[in-house]
Chain A
Amino acid sequence: MFKKHFLLLLIFFLAVFLRFWQLGQNPPSLTWDEASWGYNAYSLGIDGKDEFGKFLPIDYLESFGDFKPPVYAYLDIIPVKIFGLTEFATRFPSALFGALTVLISYFLVKRIFYKSNNANAYGILTSFILAISPWHIMLSRAAFEANIATFFIVVGVWLFLGGIQERKWYLLFSAISFALSIYTFNTARVVAPLIILMLCIGFWKILMGKYTQTIMAIIIGILLLFPTLKFLLSPQASLRFQEVNIFSDIDVVKTANQEIANDNNSSWSKILHNRRLAYGVEYLRHYLDNLNPSFLFIKGDGNPKFSTQTVGEMYLWDLPFLIIGILFLFKKREGYWWIVPLWLVLGIVPAATARETPHALRIETTLPTFQILAAVGFLTTINLLKKYKKLTISILAFVLLINFMYFYHDYLIHYPREFSGEWQYGYKDSISYVESQKDNFDQIDITMALGRPYIYYLFYTKKNPKDYRQEAMIQREVFGFVNINGFDKYRFAKNLSDIDNKNKKVLYVNTPNDVPNSANILKTFYLLNGNKALVAYTL
């Protein structure tokens, strides 16, 4: 047993190392979403209520008005209890479940290529490629709930396949895992049902033969989703969708109308330039954006939070094997090969409705299909070149090592310095300074320019949630956004002059460009690239 899984164990340790090493320091700072997970976990751990005082929320965390599915916060309660309210503890669940995804991928692949001689090799390779994947490493090293959802979906498919193979009771656990994914990340609300549907159609006959387990799994799934069904159908649940979706783009309609006018408003032109078709093409454009080679293999996601900008979501090394893998997957048709391409195609479906494409986070649910394809391609290639097998493997391993070093060196050395601003660097330093000066002032006015300062003040001052709920000055906007204008001595505003400072001794924290000339500067807080992030001053 140990010998058989020795390689897998090594890969798992590699995955753990790449995900946990310097987890608290790199990425250099917390985003507001991360701080929100951490503080809500802290709050739940104290009295079972979230920051707004909702008791054991299961539908959503209101957060900044973006109604996050809540599982991440629950998973983070124990790490926060053990390690305290720190960056490391906040990110711990993502890193842990990321490493576990690497492990489970092996078992998943063995189930997919059931009875194939290559199943074990495919599994080991997939799990290795995922362990060193820039895409998966980046998303495992920050508190991204998407990464947990990916884990649950991978586990869901793995257990499902176990269920239709020899362990029929796994079907029940599969249903639980899929249900959990829906409680974890928005995108999974679409992807998980699609994948379940695909599996049910593909294994229809086998499921019919195991109707006891099938029916029980369905019942469990429905029961688990029942508490949140009402919310899923409510306007809040689709709030974010409406805000970012492509179907509200009015230009598409304008162009279509002009085209119809150019055809003298003829009826055939109204069919040809139907706006539904135009939106369909627009959807396809956003869909294919996610398969853009530059995104996948050269630059990665344009958002530096998801990519270092120097390598793609995958290594260039993966590209030839990915292509060979697709071709030979279809050619060889081993086991339940068809799951891989269908899963990949379905994983992009919800992400393509959004305006910002490509989007590494929203299509993370496609993992590890890309890695499986690369693994199939790699093994096929070295088997085709069997005469020079050893030489080929050594050369390819060397090239991969260079690819990896290029990414990892950049990630450790350059990335935190270049992109600390993207991670809202500067809050932590400024807050520890403000805390030390707090007793000397009546009020502290803090700019909202870097985004949502209140959550950082809660996080870094480890504010007792019970006190906070008493003091919080909450302002709700029409579109569900929530602003916190202050608590304790802290006041937050976009424009500091809007805050009432009458007869008070005030400490100001503002972005460097907005500091008045007359200010008496007390301390400046810098980004890691030397630029100024925040300035503390009095007037």
Chain B
Amino acid sequence: MSRKLTLILIIAVVVLASILRLWQLGKIPASPDWDEAALGYNAYSIMHTGRDEYGKFLPIILRSFDDYKPALYAYFSIPIISIFGLDVFSVRLPSAIFGILTVLASFFLVKELFKKDNIALLSSFLLAISPWHIQFSRVAFEANVGVALNVFGILFFLKAFKKPWFLSLSALMLGLSLHVYQSEKVFVPLLIAILVGSFRKEFVSLRKKYIYTSIIIFAIISLPLIIFTLTNKDALSRAKGVSIFFNTSIIEANTEKIARDTVNNDILGLVLDNRRVEFAKYVANGYLSHLDLNWLFIKGDIARHHAPGMGLMYLIELPFLLIGIYSLIFGKFDKAVKVFTILWFLIVPIPASVTNDVPHAVRAINFLPILQILTAIGILFALQKISNIKNQKSKIQIKYLIFSLFVSFFIFNFTYYLNQYFVQQNYFNAKYWQYGYENIVDYVATVQKDYRKIIVSNTGTMDQSYMFFLFYLKYDPHKYLSEGGTLSGKIEGENKFANLEFKKLNYYQENGKNILLIGSPSDLPEVFKTVHEINFPDKSLAIKVVEKNK
């Protein structure tokens, strides 16, 4: 392929990636979820006061909803919020930009690995249109930035074999990745291990000073995180919350067996029914759940992680992914590259495998862009095989028939996805995106002065409602912190600012004049007279506003 053509094509791919990631960014998905709102407001707060919602000065970890989010994403959004103001678009923009950069970086990475322009181009094209990557590039998901940093990290690591100073850049990227998302704390060390292991020949021939510099850079970047994790007992609470090792229901089932073995004096049984065996099986199950083809190609996991009616990849990619794995293993590629690519694929599900709720599209997001690379290899392998077909029937070459069938399936699949994502998603999934606050907060802003007290539910679907009010009101962070900032980050924790209170709603207990109550239909089931309400796009009732005046 000529250089010029390659250049034109990669520009086209990046333009396509940008359109798919930026068009209607603030409107689709229909509403920010609570994590997006939290990242946005914390960035806004740090920008104005240097402190997060709890008053912590320049945090590297955001306590947020007691899930202790790594803070880097919030810092990335500060410059954008300072230009465009605090809104959904600006919160999502960093993710979209990193998404576009990942598409470009993937091209260079694959070129570096496989030395072939066609694999590189096709991989980055598949990533550009990947339902999985688009899903997370269009929301403020820290994990998506992690993918970008990892891709750059691997790219610079490989570049270092020609220009050694790239190694420190690689260390910088991978170090930063730790600060972006929880799973990276497990994934990045594994990634470094397989990079060094697979390319050990090239790596050891690097001059020592480059290696030491990189180690020092990586250590300096990760040190604050290590210190924080070791000194703050709450920091691990999130990990505990999602980890299977703290999930007692797993071993409950086993206690009966162990009791029976004890009664039977069955030593073999006590060894086999040991709870460690049970945990090991759960880890294996968690790992393997990410190889479920249904999850990847048909249904995905929770609604916010995929477009309705779609999996995480295109169905048409399925055969080519399988062919790709085969042709990578048996094809004529550099052995170290083969080993690295296979190991890269195999380590991705590890961080997610020790958690509950598997398979999980965010915790396993590092499958990007490896799945696209494998699919690209598979497509090119298949194309080559098909173009060798000599069979000719009634003047139409069979191979052209197969090509055009393939292309039409691909176009159909892509069109279907575009429709599902850009048209159907907001209709079917708005409730999972915590839709409705924007309208409600606008209303509250106009009537806020008329009421003595405004009580907002914080239970069920209205959990963490305080954050949406802070976000949409663009509530002055100085004022918020002077009123005490956030009091509780727990699930259904109580908070308040100005004349707003966020707590469990009970219509009959709130007595007094001039009170406004805001809650979901299940918070206010018997109250029919609303002063304001907002529906989901499917016309079902989302949030109710009612008055109490006695």
Contacts and interface: CB of A to CB of B under 8 A. Distances in A.
Contact of A298 (B266, B285, B326, B415): B285
A263 interface: yes
A330 interface: yes
A200 interface: no
A281 B315 contact: yes
Interface in A94-138: none
The bracket for how many chain B residues form the interface is 35 or more
Contacts of A269: 419
Contacts of A284: 298, 315
B335 interface: no
Interface in A264-291: 269, 272, 278, 281, 284-285, 288-289, 291
B285 A414 contact: no
A66 interface: no
Contacts of B277: 406
Contact of B293 (A291, A327, A331): A291
A513 to B, nearest CB: 23
B297 interface: yes
B268 interface: yes
A414 B260 contact: yes
A439 to B, nearest CB: 40
A292 B294 contact: yes
Interface string A388-406: 0000000000000000011
Interface in B282-339: 284-285, 288-289, 291-294, 297-299, 309, 315, 325-326, 329-330
A409 B269 contact: yes
Interface in B71-100: none
Contacts, number: 79
B517 to A, nearest CB: 33
B48 interface: no
Given A255-B309, A262-B423, A262-B427, A293 B292 contact: yes
A288 B298 contact: yes
Contacts of B293: 288, 291
Interface string A371-390: 00000000000000000000
A297 B288 contact: yes
A409 B427 contact: no
A33 interface: no
Given A272-B419, A327-B329, A413-B264, A294 B285 contact: yes
B261 interface: yes
Contacts of B193: none
A462 B106 CA distance: 73
A348 to B, nearest CB: 12
Interface string B404-423: 00000000100110010001
A239 B257 CA distance: 41
B186 interface: no
Interface string A408-421: 01100110011000
B288 A405 contact: no
Contact of B291 (A259, A293, A410, A414): A293
B402 interface: no
A413 B257 CA distance: 9
A298 B298 contact: no
A316 B292 CA distance: 15
A409 to B, nearest CB: 5
Which of A258, A269, A298, A316 has the most chain B CB within a 10 Å cutoff? A298
A299 interface: yes
A406 B272 contact: yes
B260 A417 contact: yes
Interface string A312-324: 0000100100000
Contacts of A331: 326, 330
A525 to B, nearest CB: 21
Interface residues of A, number: 33
Given A272-B415, A294-B289, A298-B285, A410 B272 contact: yes
A85 B291 CA distance: 47
Contact of A409 (B268, B288, B416, B423): B268
A329 B291 CA distance: 21
Given A255-B309, A294-B285, A406-B277, A289 B294 contact: yes
B461 interface: no
A393 to B, nearest CB: 23
Contacts of B513: none
Nearest to B298: A285
A174 to B, nearest CB: 31
A264 to B, nearest CB: 10
Interface string B396-440: 000000000000000010011001000110011000000000000
A287 B292 CA distance: 12
B364 to A, nearest CB: 14
B240 interface: no
B288 A293 contact: yes
Given A285-B299, A288-B298, A330 B326 contact: yes
B11 to A, nearest CB: 30
A299 B285 contact: yes
B281 interface: yes
Given A263-B419, A263-B423, A417-B260, A285 B268 contact: no
B343 to A, nearest CB: 15
B72 to A, nearest CB: 34
Interface in B231-264: 256-257, 260-261, 264
A371 to B, nearest CB: 19
A278 B264 CA distance: 54
Contacts of B326: 327, 330-331
B278 to A, nearest CB: 9
Given A331-B330, A406-B272, A413-B264, A298 B292 contact: no
Contact of B288 (A263, A289, A294, A327): A294
Given A409-B272, A410-B272, A414-B260, A294 B427 contact: no
Given A255-B309, A327-B326, A272 B416 contact: yes
Nearest to A261: B427
Interface string A237-256: 00000000000000000010
A181 B478 CA distance: 78
A331 B331 CA distance: 11
Nearest to A290: B294
A278 B298 CA distance: 11
Nearest to A255: B309
Interface string A34-62: 00000000000000000000000000000
Contact of A413 (B266, B294, B412, B423): B266
A298 B260 contact: no
Contacts of B272: 405-406, 409-410
A297 B299 CA distance: 21
Contacts of A418: 256
Interface in B500-528: none
Contacts of A410: 257, 272-273
Nearest to B296: A288
Contacts of B288: 293-294, 297-298, 319
Contacts of A327: 325-326, 329-330
Interface of A: 255, 258-259, 262-263, 269, 272, 278, 281, 284-285, 288-289, 291-294, 297-299, 316, 319, 327, 330-331, 405-406, 409-410, 413-414, 417-418
Given A293-B291, A410-B257, 7 more contacts: A272-B415, A298-B284, A298-B285, A316-B284, A405-B272, A413-B264, A414-B260
Q: Which 9 interchain pairs have the tightest Cβ spacing?
A: A293-B288, A298-B285, A288-B294, A288-B293, A285-B298, A406-B272, A262-B427, A293-B291, A414-B257
6 contacts: A258-B428, A278-B309, A284-B298, A327-B330, A409-B272, A414-B273
Interface of B: 256-257, 260-261, 264, 266, 268-269, 272-273, 277, 281, 284-285, 288-289, 291-294, 297-299, 309, 315, 325-326, 329-330, 412, 415-416, 419, 423-424, 427-428
